[in-house]
Amino acid sequence: MFDYVAAQKTASDLLNEFGDSTQIQISRVSAKVADLVLGTVTGTTVNTFILAVRVPINIHLVAAGLITTTDIKFITNTEVLMSDMIIVGGSKYKIKTIEPLEPAGINLLYSVVCSE
């Protein structure tokens, strides 16, 4: 039987060796509170640097019109949500796709494509 927990550690070790924790931030709104009298919803935004590796965009997806050359792609072991905003070098990106690599329900990595 394959040891997915060991594979998860290997993925983390590779990110620790080749990744960078100073380039990519997740901006996530949390602790949303509804004010029923005013009819508003407010939340606290938390920006967190994540350990990630930027990887090249697949040129075939660009040719097919699915993504653009200005999109970015990165791999991380931090869970990313579609509602998150990604900040790279001061530029804000919306998430287009999140592809988890999770054999047997064990989260190993997330491949994320974002656009400005």
Between CA 24 and CA 47 the distance in angstroms is: 10
Q: What share of the chain is helix, strand, coil (3-state, %, to 5)?
A: 20, 50, 30
pLDDT tens-digit series, residues 78-93: 999 999 999 998 899 9
Residues near 62 by Cβ (< 8 Å), separated by ≥ 6? Answer: 68, 69
* Average pLDDT of every residue of the chain: 86
How many domains does the chain fold into? 1
| pLDDT above 70 as % of the chain | 100
Look-up of token digits 């804000």? 92
pLDDT tens-digit series, residues 51-64: 999 888 877 777 77
CATH number for 51: 2.40.10
Between CA 30 and CA 2 the distance in angstroms is: 37
- CA 7 to chain centroid, in Å, comes to 20
Specify the range with the lowest mean pLDDT, choosing from 12-26, 70-84, 87-101: 12-26
Q: What is the pLDDT of residue 74?
A: 93
- Name the pLDDT band for 5 (thresholds 50, 70, 90): confident
Q: What's the pTM value of the predicted model, to 2 decimals?
A: 0.78
Domain span including residue 79? 4-115
